[in-house]
């Protein structure tokens, strides 16, 4: 065991707790997905030891509250370790921001808690559990559960910028794109008629060309609650839904893993090359052009890439400063990672015209591009490949329900050593065949590899952390941990780090 591996192993030998789980979350039906009784956000998406983080919290009605911070991981199956607690903080009701230019809702709340990240906090995804005091008034009449201590999360990443075997990138720019706080009208999907939907078929979208979204606001409950309804994840973005099953499993296995934000991939490109491997996880839809360039450069320098994600690298977004000048706090949708050639085809065949030029073709980095939504099985296509070693899978054998709810396909077959390792019998939301999924692998220029599992739901086959709920999309549903998926992932990671 090397020293880096032992960091994760030693960390997970520390006593864990299930106290990180929300047991009394409340979503206000008047706002669809919001938790107005207590909610908050962080001043930074990621921090290092020695950095200061501010946590802005609003309580309505005014109430004292506590904040307990947990590092997520395995910890003997408990899922997290308590690392810091603040008791009896005096809360205040902080204002909903006005509607700004381009439909921007940007909070300018006062900090409720401010502290320096300790030197001994290992890189990881950290949850802050907010707990208010006793509820009164209108909320009390609506609740049937315990009326004391309503709860929600804040979330941030601690990075350490050290050499590591596996670099886990959280998909927090996509969390923000789907964040509809303060009610059901403020995600990118409620503000982008022309860019997102050139034909204007979605009647609830505005006539504005594009909307802006800000990291300076709480995370509402995940707005696609037809896929999974998790009020007890409110405030955590999409981490607990799609990404934690991978992190939980990796830390259980003792892999040398370090964590970053999408924003870190954007702003710290050369640091990617300190790792042996880079992992895109879950629902990783929105990238900047700088992210594409930085990951491409790292691949060309020998970094292994694993896209354990779906709908990946679909929308092009810039990162803009906040009203107060803080970098990387606002984003808007500009275009798609389809490349000039495919854009010309879209113009000719479908009449699509974008205001901003397209991004480079995502398939040239991932090995495939966004292909569909719905769900289906992960069907073995090359059982002789080392990915399947020890799984006993034969051609045509399937991991049921592992593909969904969005996936990648359209493989870029001209890439060196390109192979299709799995396909799918996927269907769309209306149960119509849509078998365009393709999990692929190709060779990098320095004996490295690029693997694309091509499914948002891939990590559902690895573990089921405490509180986890499997998603479903009408006719498709993953089945939870599967020893074959665990072995495939171990084969992949072990090949990456050997």
- In this structure, are strands 438-443 and 80-90 parallel, antiparallel, or unpaired? unpaired
DSSP classification of residue 391: S
d(CA 287, CA 237): 17
The answer to whether 379 touches 396, Cβ cutoff 8 Å, is yes
Q: How many CB atoms lie within 10 A of CB 197?
A: 12
d(CA 362, CA 336): 9
The answer to whether 437 touches 410, Cβ cutoff 8 Å, is no
Q: What is the pLDDT of residue 144?
A: 43
DSSP classification of residue 205: S
d(CA 101, CA 292): 28
Q: How much is the CA Rg of the chain, to the nearest whole Å?
A: 22
Q: What is the pLDDT of residue 76?
A: 99
- Residue by residue, DSSP assigns 401-468 as EEEEEEEEE---TTSTT-EEEEE---B-TTS-B---BEEEEEE-TTS-EEEE--BGGGGGGT---TT-
Q: What is the pLDDT of residue 1?
A: 47
d(CA 34, CA 183): 6
Residues with pLDDT less than 70, the chain: 1-5, 134-148, 191-210, 352
The answer to whether 108 touches 97, Cβ cutoff 8 Å, is yes
Domains in the chain, number: 1
The answer to whether 165 touches 498, Cβ cutoff 8 Å, is no
d(CA 488, CA 262): 25
- In this structure, are strands 275-283 and 304-310 parallel, antiparallel, or unpaired? parallel
Q: How many CB atoms lie within 10 A of CB 349?
A: 8
Q: What is the pLDDT of residue 342?
A: 80
Q: What is the pLDDT of residue 53?
A: 99
The answer to whether 184 touches 190, Cβ cutoff 8 Å, is yes
d(CA 93, CA 105): 17
Q: What is the pLDDT of residue 349?
A: 74
Q: Which structural domain range is residue 372 located in? A: 4-497
CB-count burial class (<10 Å; 0-12, 13-18, 19+) for 313 = buried
The pLDDT tens digits for 200-251 are 444 333 333 568 999 999 999 988 878 998 999 999 999 999 999 999 999 9
Contact residues for 13 (Cβ-Cβ < 8 A; gap 6+)? none
d(CA 271, CA 114): 27
The pLDDT tens digits for 389-417 are 999 999 999 999 999 999 999 999 999 99
Give how far Cα 269 sits from Cα of 4, 95, 255, 300, 354, Å: 22, 37, 23, 13, 28
The token pair that represents 358 in the structure block: 């397209």
């Amino acid at each position: 065991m090397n020293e880096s591996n032992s960091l994760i192993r030693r960390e997970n030998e520390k006593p864990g707790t299930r106290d990180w789980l929300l047991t009394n979350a409340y979503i206000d039906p008047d706002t669809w997905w919001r938790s107005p009784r207590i909610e908050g956000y962080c001043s930074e998406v990621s921090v290092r030891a020695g950095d200061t983080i501010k946590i802005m919290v609003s309580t309505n009605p005014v109430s004292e509250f506590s904040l307990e911070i947990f590092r997520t991981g395995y910890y003997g199956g408990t899922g997290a370790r308590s690392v810091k607690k603040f008791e009896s903080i005096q809360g205040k009701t902080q204002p909903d921001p006005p509607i700004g230019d381009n439909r921007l809702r940007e909070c300018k709340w006062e900090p409720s808690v401010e502290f320096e990240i300790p030197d001994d906090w290992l890189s990881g995804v950290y949850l802050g559990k907010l707990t208010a005091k006793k509820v009164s008034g209108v909320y009390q009449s609506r609740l049937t559960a315990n009326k004391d201590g309503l709860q929600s999360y804040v979330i941030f990443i601690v990075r350490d910028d050290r050499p590591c075997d596996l670099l886990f990138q959280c998909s927090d720019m996509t969390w923000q794109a789907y964040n509809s706080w303060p009610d059901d009208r403020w995600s990118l999907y409620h503000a982008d008629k022309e860019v997102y939907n050139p034909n204007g078929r979605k009647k609830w979208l505005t006539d504005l060309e594009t909307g802006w979204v800000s990291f300076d606001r709480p995370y509402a409950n995940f707005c696609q609650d037809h896929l999974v309804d998790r009020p007890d994840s409110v405030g955590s973005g999409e981490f607990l839904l799609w990404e934690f099953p991978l992190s939980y499993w990796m830390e259980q296995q003792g892999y040398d893993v370090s964590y970053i934000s999408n924003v870190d991939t954007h702003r710290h490109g050369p640091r990617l090359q300190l790792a042996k491997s880079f992992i895109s996880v879950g629902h990783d839809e929105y990238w900047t052009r700088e992210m594409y360039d930085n990951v491409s450069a790292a691949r060309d320098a020998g970094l292994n890439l694993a896209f354990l994600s779906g709908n990946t690298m679909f929308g092009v977004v810039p990162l803009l400063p906040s009203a107060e000048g803080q970098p990387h706090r606002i984003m808007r949708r500009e275009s798609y990672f389809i490349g000039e050639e495919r854009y010309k085809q879209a113009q000719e065949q479908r009449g699509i015209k974008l205001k901003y030029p397209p991004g480079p073709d995502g398939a040239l980095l991932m090995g495939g591009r966004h292909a569909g939504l719905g769900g289906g099985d992960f069907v073995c296509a090359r059982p002789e490949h080392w990915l399947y070693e020890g799984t006993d899978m034969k051609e045509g054998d399937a991991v049921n329900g592992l593909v969904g709810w969005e996936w990648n396909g359209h493989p870029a077959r001209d890439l060196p050593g390109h192979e299709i390792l799995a396909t799918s019998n996927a269907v769309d939301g209306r149960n119509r065949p849509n078998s365009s999924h393709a999990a692929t692998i190709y060779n990098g220029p320095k004996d490295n590899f690029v693997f694309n599992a091509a499914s948002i739901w891939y990590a559902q086959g690895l573990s089921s952390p405490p509180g986890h709920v499997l998603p479903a999309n009408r006719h498709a549903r993953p089945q939870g941990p599967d020893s074959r998926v665990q072995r495939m992932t171990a084969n992949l990671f072990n090949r990456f780090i050997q």
